[in-house]
Amino acid sequence: MIKGLTAVAQVATEEAWSQLNELFGALGFENGKGWDDGTGKGAAYLAPLGNLELITGRAPAVPTLLVEVTQLEAVHTAVKAWVAKYPASQVGEVAATHWNSRLFVLKLAGDVELGFWESENPLHGKPVAIEGDLSAAGKKFAIVVARWNAVITDRLLQGSLDALMRSGCKREDIEIVRVPGAWEIPSAARTLAETKRFVGIITLGVLLRGETAHYEAIYNEVSRGIGQSQQETGVPHAFGVLTCETLEQALDRAGLKAGNKGFEAGIAAIEMASIQEKIAGVSK
């Protein structure tokens, strides 16, 4: 099994070799095991990721040795400060490439060139994965919302509607079902999911500890019922049932200070619907 990748570059003079050691040390490379056998010597620098790229058809448009970095401007500033001490070396300006990144080149004595680059692709370096898109266009969703504590749940509902319609869902593709309280949410959600008319169900409600002595029992059954409905029907259920100590805490989570959990539940439903659609497409 392949364990690692090492690029070996010859440096023309010991002076340039020493300069490179100083530069790489200043940039924070981890030192590897060096060697000196009397006829030559080497210094190893370790990076968390190594790549081997083979090119045919034309000469490479970049230096043979490329160093991928974050915060390219800060690295460029550090390299320019270092180059000021060695007039024989030259550092280019940061420039955009045709491969969705930015790059600058450091030229040392002896025709040694290093390229420092930073990707502008937000998915660069991440493992390939199925991820949901935040598009609700052409999809149908259902929202189950409790009437109890309507001053809270109405805010949650508006948040979910905002998330869906901002993401391209039409108002006529959203079905709203109002139930008496949080206890009734799982039953309505299950009935809606079993119709298979919706790609996602959003559940909205609020439970306040101070209003009931059996707060934990209700919450446990509501969460269990929603989860069971999701697992047994295969339709994603977004959980937007607040569990708070006080009315003030609930208001904060319904759009005042801590975001709107109804909006967050709507976004989660959209993403999960997209993921299920993609998984189904892959498995065919």
pLDDT tens for 140-177 read 999 999 999 888 999 999 999 999 999 999 999 999 99
pLDDT tens for 75-95 read 999 999 888 888 778 899 999
Q: Which residues of 227-237 are buried (b: 16+ CB within 10 A; e: fewer)?
A: eebbeebebbb
- Annotation marks residue 214 as catalytic: yes
Neighbouring residues of 133: CB distance < 8 A, sequence distance ≥ 6: 271, 274
Domains in the chain, ordered, with CATH?
A: 14-119 (3.10.180.10), 141-283 (3.40.50.960)
237-244 and 200-208 beta bridge pairing:
parallel
pTM: 0.59
pLDDT tens for 24-35 read 888 888 888 888
Of 1-10, 160-169, 265-274, the one with minimum mean pLDDT is: 1-10
Q: Is the dihedral of CA 277, 280, 282, 284 positive or negative?
A: negative
The full DSSP string for 159-194 is HHHHHHHHTT--GGGEEEEEESSGGGHHHHHHHHHH
76, 98, 124, 214: which is the annotated catalytic residue? 214
